[in-house]
Amino acid sequence: MSASSAPAKPRSFALPSHLTLPVLLGAAITLFWIVTALSVDLWPIYDPLDMVARRLMPPSAEHWFGTDALGRDVLTRTLHGARSSLIMSCAVIFFAVSIGSALGAIAGYAGGFIDNAIMRLVDVTLSFPPILLAMAVTAALGPGLENAAIAMIIVWWPAYARLMRGQVLAVKAREHVEAAVAGGAGHARTLIRHILPLCWGPILINATMDFGQVVLLAASLSFIGLGASPPTPEWGSMISEGAIHFYQWWICAGPGLAILSVVLGFNFLGDGLSDYLDPRRS
């Protein structure tokens, strides 16, 4: 009897240990909102700017999240709100990571005066409460999504600069870097080829975790009138409009649930990434 003729054992299906339920849930929520942001124009739903029904209608079969004070469908506006919120948050994270990482890497690698200059700038920026700094910058530049995004980049880059500097300092002392330098590698080559590839893990984890916070800050700026201008569907400004009609709870419920789910989704995903990329933490 050959080994191949032995009855095959049923194979048990098991997910990799880092793919926990929260991580899967986070991935599903995140995927949903990304797909929504990219394709909401194609969905067979109402126009987010049109009056489609009587004003302040409670949730019904036609309008699942009810209508707002101008008779616009709250669900439609919530789904369209994903576009401005997510695209802006992506842009903020991308630029904050790029600027912060570049400056942090230079500071950590160069040391001395350059390190001091960059890190003191980081200290000064981090000494302001984020919402206050963002409000001040947006108030100076004028309201609008673009200016709110600039304000948030100014708020967020120092965290990445500090993180990247720490990573570069740790990796710089390793033997393979010393070997590369001894082998005649220039500064740029040493930094880019031998140090940075080992530094991205924590940055990626932080960026994922921060995504939800950026969505929250963007919504906060819009809530106080410094973000999206009306009638742009944006979660923060929708909640602000809903706050006037306090007893018509459904106006705030849609965007509120959207913010909750996005923040939760990215936090779950960030935790999963953290376990996957940095097993010491788990």
Partner 1 sequence: MTKLYRRSHFARWRAAALLCISLTAAASFPALASAEDKPLVIVRDIDINSLDPARAWCDTCQIYLSNVYETLIGLGTDNKSLVPRLATKWEANADQSQFTFTLDPDAKFSDGSPVEAKDVKWSMERLKNVKGDASFMMDAVRSIEAKDAKTVVVTLTGPNSEFLNILTAPYTGVANSVEASANGAAAGEDAATADKGEAWFLAHSAGSGPYMLAEYKPGDVLRFKANPNYKRSAVAIGDIVIKHTKDAVAQAQMLQSGGADIAMQIDPDTAKTISGGELSVETVPSYNFLYVALSPGAKDGGKLASKEVRQAIGYALDYDGIIEFTVGGQGKKIPVAIPNGFPGTDGLPEPKQDLAKAKELMAKAGAADGFEINATFPNMNAYGVDLSLLIQKVQQDLDKINVKLKLTPVEFSVWRDQVRGDGIPLTTVFFAPDYYGSAQYVQYFGMMEGTPWWKRAGGATDASITNAKTAELLTKVLAAGDAEKPAIYKEIAQTMIDDRIIIPVVSPDLVLAHAKSVTGLRYSACCNLLMNELGLK
- Asked whether 93 and 152 are in contact (CB, 8 A), the reply is no
- Asked whether 100 and 159 are in contact (CB, 8 A), the reply is yes
Task: Report the nearest approach of partner 1 to the CB of residue 231 (Å).
Answer: 5
Amino acid at 211: F
- Asked whether 221 and 84 are in contact (CB, 8 A), the reply is no
Task: Report the nearest approach of partner 1 to the CB of residue 220 (Å).
Answer: 15
Residue 34 or 139: which CB sits closer to partner 1?
139
Residue 224 or 264: which CB sits closer to partner 1?
224
- Asked whether 56 and 68 are in contact (CB, 8 A), the reply is yes
Task: Report the nearest approach of partner 1 to the CB of residue 16 (Å).
Answer: 49
Residue 47 or 278: which CB sits closer to partner 1?
47
Task: Report the nearest approach of partner 1 to the CB of residue 232 (Å).
Answer: 9
Amino acid at 256: G
Residue 47 or 178: which CB sits closer to partner 1?
47
Residue 70 or 277: which CB sits closer to partner 1?
70
Gap between the Cα atoms of 195 and 200, Å rounded: 10
Per CB under 8 A, residues contacting partner 1 are 49, 51, 55-56, 69-71, 142-144, 225, 229-231, 241, 243-248
Task: Report the nearest approach of partner 1 to the CB of residue 58 (Å).
Answer: 13
Q: Is the dihedral of CA 273, 174, 117, 106 positive or negative?
A: negative
Gap between the Cα atoms of 20 and 197, Å rounded: 27
